[in-house]
Amino acid sequence: MRFFLFLVFIYSTTIGFSQSKEVNINWDGYRVFSTASAHFEVPYFNNHTYNFAPGKGISLVTHWNENLEIDQNSIVIEKLDLSNLPREQLKELNISDIPTKFNYEIKSSISRGKRSLFLELSPIINQNGSFKKVNSFRFSYKNTAEKKPLTYRTQSSVLNNGNWYKFYVDKTGIFRLDKGFLNDLGINTNNVDPRKIRIFGNGGNMLPMINSTSHPVDPIENAIKVYGQDDGVFNNDDYILFYAQGPNGYNAESNTNLNLYSDKSAYFINIGSSTGKRILENNLPEDPYDLLVDSHTAYKYHEIDDYNIAKIGRRWFGNRFDFESNQTFEFNFPNLRTSEPINLKVYTAAVSEISTSMSIEVNNQQISNMNYSSIGDPILVSGDFYSGDLMVSNSNISVDLNYNNNGNPSSVAYLDYISIEGISDLTYNGDQFIFYNKNLVDLSGIAQYNIANANAISNIWEITDLNNVTEISADGNESTVSFKSILGEEKKFIAFNQDSYYEPIIEGQTLIENQDIKSDVFLDNSNQFQDLDYLIVCRSDMLYEAERLAQINRDFNNLKVKVVTLEKIYNEFSSGNQDISAIRNFVKYIYYNASDQASRIKYLCLFGDASYDYKDRISQNTNIVPSWHSINSFSLSNAYVSDDFFGMMDEGEGMMNNSDKLDIAVGRILADSPQRATDLVDKISSYYNASSYGDWRNKLIVISDDVDEPWESIIQGTSNNLADLITENKPFFNVKKILSDSYVQESSAGGERYPEVNKDIIDGIELGALVVNYFGHGGEDGIARERIFDKIDATELSNENKLNCFVSVTCEFTKFDNPGRNTAGEFLYWNKNGGSIALITTTRQIFVSVGVNFNLTLEEYLFSLNSDNYYSMAEALRLTKNDPSISGTDQRRLVFFIGDPAMKLAIAKPNIRINEINDILVDEFTEPLQGLSSVKIEGQIEDEFGNKIEDYQGELVTTVFDKNIQRSTLGNDGTSQNDSPIILDFTTLGEVLFRGKSSIENGDFSVNFIVPRDVVMDIDYGKISFYSKSSSSLMDQNGSNLNILVGGIDENASEDNIGPEIELYMNDEAFISGGITNENPNLLVKLFDENGINTSSGIGHDIVAVLDDDVANSFRLNDYYEANLDDYQNGTISYPLRDISPGLHTLSLKAWDVYNNSSISEIQFVVHDQDQELVISNVLNYPNPFVSFTEFWFNHNSSNDLSVSIQIFTVSGKLVKTINGYVNTSNSSSLSRDLTWDGKDDFGDKVAKGVYIYRLTVRSDQIDKQVSKIEKLVIL
């Protein structure tokens, strides 16, 4: 007991004990923040997380480990040290972005239960035009008891049984449901007891985005009034009245009067087994009133959502001011009290290359001017807001907006909304009259409401509580009625008459299926509780493919996965209405109802594309699974689309503040149709298949932009450091550096270009790379100003079964939320023949300085540089965004994970070890691998603990690299700094001396090869890289050795003066020179040399193919050569040719052996014009003659799939056999040999020996063309 009390004492004193932190700011001159098209030079500090954003200014963010909750009321700022900052030293920092006081936020920040103390502040202050910078300060605080998150216990949905019918309303008020409406809804009213009718719904207001606000997680029963229910029969004159809340009403989070997601609100009708909830009489106070209320708050607005000006963010606009620059908006406020001021709010925006303005007049009186700055990338729109109180003289208010384009006819302004709030007499004006008085909220006591002109009122209801409407029995005469109510909250009432009811809407399927996702999501196949690892959210038409993805993760990742449709989430968590917060709230429900903290959900997949348009106002919209959009809708660097919203579970999160941290790894499958969903899940499935296992998993590609301006040197420097960091910590990776400025830049009509960079990127991707990382400038159409990789390249890639994760810390590479313009990132991800399995990518413009930190931090987590335990790619991104070096940066929100969030990189497990080289123990082997020397490497496959895997059978790929190469960039753009050209010295992997395949038996392997003469003579350490895959299970290993010397020449090598043997084919070995191909044939090369083929890229010793004598555009094929299994003497090359023009072509190929003897071979082929007729040639059957089996062969020129029919006749013309088939041309082969015949007729009987005639007919349905050929065959 004493021990327990002692712990309580420690805990209590810890909570109450005051603590303090010192903050010192190390100002460090200036920093240029740049995107592809904008540059901002602003003051900079270097010892905390620095955040700059146009329109928001500078902020400082820092973190401390702190396990307890902070008492916000205890924070005290002390010893604030300021110094003067001359205005000119602000440089390009906008004065309007500088606060007028010391702004700060100190709070607890939480991620998956782990807390930290978070500080964000504005380090520059504007004190009446005098600018101060913060040098240091101290703050003290106390801890407090941990707040329990606002959560909901597990429960069942009311929708889980019974018949439920959905209908809609499009406005707020009293709705009438009669017998005809219920019948149209699908309810047989002849069998309905009206006393058991129930209506459920939570209204049409948007759910709060912030996590700390309470909200229902199931439709709630509404109190209704049923006329004629007492007899238990729904008669023709019976009807239901109920109060429904429509979709619209002012929302402060989004500063709009219109629902972002829907123009209607859903409600449900159910016929229950007991009496439904009915409207009861309000229990009015009987004591004398303290306040007479004869006025109400009157509110009107004009708002239309037709235009999203920049196609970003969630702010939409209506009226357009271009040709019609002056527009008037009329508002009528019956019985307005003109002795009280009205409040006018106007929000507008403009797009103009020069400064423009708009005047506001109210009832012909000038009120204000709204001013708009000129726009320029990244700021695409300039907005202004007016809010003010003013007096008017009558109830009719005219608001006149006059746009002054300042002489620029291309300038356009837009109106978001006008809203007016005033005080009106409490006078009934007919129809449905909703009234409330905001001025009563802070008062106490009893109020008496007096309603004038009340003779037409039939009912008064209190509607403060949407689900518990009550009826008020008012007193009074024909002209005035009164009733009493308790003060202290904003109460709402509605008065109406019998002629003012609204009619609800029937739309789509009315009867909904029973559902209970709140219970089902935690049930296993035996209906027992199980925690959930992974949730997939999809639209119902993509459910099948989402379930396929779920099963993949159950099978390969051993995860507990559930798929839930949006429709079901909306039905339970937002009462049938589209709302992004409903998705987040469902995820939060799962997160907090786990059996323990460690078992909380880890992954969320949003299975579907998204759009900036929630309401399908634009054509071909892709709002499949909606995303979060910022209220900032004007800037490409600040207006975000983000899925982080769905992964932040803690109290107070949801507004995307810098302190908000991700708890769940979120990924999105960019499926814009069910067919696209099929294609993408097929790709994901293939990533786990045996066909995707290969040594490409050991390869990484790091690409950088060049240096057009001095500050851009950090781009290539970062990429180089990134590659070196990975190489140092994960030496089994073979990192290819493609630093653009190290290649020769060429001029073209379209600008400067790097054709060899483009070729190396495409070749690298098609040969296979686990990760491709690009850092530099980019955009929706591709990367770099020199267009080193663009949309067309992304579409045409052919790297099936070698799918990469493409990391692009650049601008807008995957701006997927604009359906009107598909981006390079989307095409890369959608490519059915290859491309990428996942993207870690940007959707808006990102500052280069942010990209530097982001890229380096991301790689630490993505490659687990200090561990062999790897995170999923999306989890690595989550940890990056939460890392203290990044988490203070707004722009981290614009980085997305596109793909399956549970997927890990296909990194093989360790280890592969060398035992002996040339029969000498590897630790004792000190001789270099010399040119022309024969090498034998023996070793074994080991598990992660260093034990040999005795039963390992499989295949090993060995790559031997020469010594690292020292290179330098070229300074193509002549950029200099401090009068010195900007040149980067860097190191790359050495040339490939050998790459071959060997068998693995019982965990042992042996590799034999001869070192090429072209090995660099200097002796130093090279690299041997290994990759193995098991033939009996889905298992692969990697390994490397960096301790083997390479160099010199073997003077005792045998003589060889004969070049390699070369055989050339197109598509397959059946091709005959001069044959027909389509426009994308595959070059197939077979090579043999008794000493092996040279792939080491010695000067002039590359394997080179030349098409039609165009030497300048020859193909270097070294990287495509692959030695045969256990045979270094034989090997093959398979190289895809693209977009070859119609006509006859000649291709020559030159190859060298390791002794530098060369040979040349040549082949011709005809690419037939696809606009001409379908052509077939070389029609034959083989063998011919035959006994019981023959194949029908033919060449064709089609790239489309073909239908084939073969009719076999006797010489007298009698048809004996018809064979129908289908030719798939996806492999680019021009030869078909798919159809066979066993010599039997259509009845299964053997035909007689002799000569037969056959007609082969080939048809392409895609081009609607058909061709036939007749040949002979002989049966023996």
Over residues 46-59, the pLDDT tens digits come to 888 788 877 788 88
For residue 904, give Cα distances in angstroms to 531, 722, 1081: 21, 20, 34
pLDDT at 952: 97
Please name the amino acid found at residue 430.
Answer: G
- Does the pLDDT of residue 7 top 60, yes or no? no
1051 Cβ partners below 8 Å, 6+ apart?
none
What confidence tier does 390 reach under pLDDT thresholds 50, 70, 90? Answer: very high
Quote the Cα angle for 285-286-292, to 5°: 75
Quote the Cα angle for 763-767-772, to 5°: 75
Torsion of CA 1041, 1042, 1043, 1044, to 10 degrees: 80
**Are 796 and 789 a contacting pair, CB within 8 Å?**
no
Backbone angles phi, psi at 329, to 5 degrees: -125, 125
Q: 169-219, pLDDT tens digit by residue?
A: 999 999 999 999 999 999 999 999 999 999 999 999 999 999 877 889 999
- Does the pLDDT of residue 432 top 90, yes or no? yes
**Position of tokens 């005047």?**
359
Mean pLDDT check: name the lowest of 211-215, 321-325, 658-662, 1075-1079: 211-215
Beta bridge partners of 912: 941
Interval 387-393 mean pLDDT: 96
Beta bridge partners of 1147: 1107, 1163
For residue 457, give Cα distances in angstroms to 226, 451, 477, 481, 497: 19, 10, 11, 9, 5
- Does the pLDDT of residue 777 top 60, yes or no? yes
The span from the CA of 519 to the CA of 154, in Å, is 7
pLDDT at 645: 97
Percent above pLDDT 70 for the chain? 97
What confidence tier does 37 reach under pLDDT thresholds 50, 70, 90? Answer: low
Number of Cβ within a 10 Å radius of residue 872 = 24
The residue ranking higher by pLDDT, 167 or 83, is: 167
Nearest Cα residue to 415 out of 322, 282, 477, 518: 322
| Angle between helical axes of 566-573 and 580-592 (0-180°, round to 10) | 80
- In order of start, what are the domains of the chain with their CATH numbers? 12-144 (no CATH), 159-278 (no CATH), 281-294+426-496 (2.60.40), 296-425 (2.60.120.260), 696-905 (3.40.50.1460), 910-968+982-1049 (2.60.40.1930), 1061-1167 (2.60.40.650), 1176-1275 (2.60.40.10)
pLDDT at 3: 37
The span from the CA of 1030 to the CA of 1078, in Å, is 37
**Are 327 and 397 a contacting pair, CB within 8 Å?**
no
Nearest Cα residue to 1131 out of 1097, 1091, 1092, 1087: 1087
H or E stretch at 825:
helix 824-830
Q: Which two tokens stand for residue 765?
A: 């991707």
Nearest Cα residue to 335 out of 388, 418, 396, 391: 396
Helices (H), 650-710: 674-688
Mean pLDDT estimate for the chain = 93
Interval 501-518 mean pLDDT: 96
Q: 654-689, pLDDT tens digit by residue?
A: 999 888 999 999 999 999 999 999 999 999 999 999
pLDDT at 500: 92
**Position of tokens 């909304």?**
417
For residue 810, give Cα distances in angstroms to 226, 605, 641, 704, 750: 61, 24, 15, 10, 22
The span from the CA of 1261 to the CA of 1234, in Å, is 18
Q: Which two tokens stand for residue 1120?
A: 């495509």
First to last CA, the chain: 102
For residue 396, give Cα distances in angstroms to 330, 331, 368, 400, 1082: 7, 6, 20, 13, 77
Q: Residue count of the chain, please give it.
A: 1276
Beta bridge partners of 30: 43
Quick one: 863 exposed, middle or buried, by C-beta within 10 A (0-12, 13-18, 19+)?
A: buried
Interval 1199-1207 mean pLDDT: 87
The span from the CA of 336 to the CA of 1102, in Å, is 88
DSSP track, 1175-1186: -EEEEEEESSSB
pLDDT at 13: 38
Nearest Cα residue to 1015 out of 965, 967, 1056: 965
**Are 964 and 738 a contacting pair, CB within 8 Å?**
no
- Does the pLDDT of residue 731 top 80, yes or no? yes
DSSP track, 716-733: HHHHHHHHHHHHHH-TTS
**Are 1147 and 1103 a contacting pair, CB within 8 Å?**
no
Number of Cβ within a 10 Å radius of residue 400 = 18
DSSP track, 1026-1079: EEEEESSSS-EEEEEE---EEEEE-TTPPP---PPEEEEEESSTT--TTEEE-S
Alpha-carbon dihedral sign for residues 1095, 1097, 1101, 1103:
positive
Q: 902-933, pLDDT tens digit by residue?
A: 999 999 999 999 999 999 999 999 999 999 99
207 Cβ partners below 8 Å, 6+ apart?
215, 574, 579, 581, 582, 585
Quote the Cα angle for 737-739-744, to 5°: 125
The residue ranking higher by pLDDT, 14 or 823, is: 823
Backbone angles phi, psi at 367, to 5 degrees: -105, -50
Nearest Cα residue to 685 out of 536, 547, 587: 547
The span from the CA of 337 to the CA of 365, in Å, is 19
Q: 1146-1184, pLDDT tens digit by residue?
A: 999 999 999 999 999 999 999 877 666 788 889 999 999
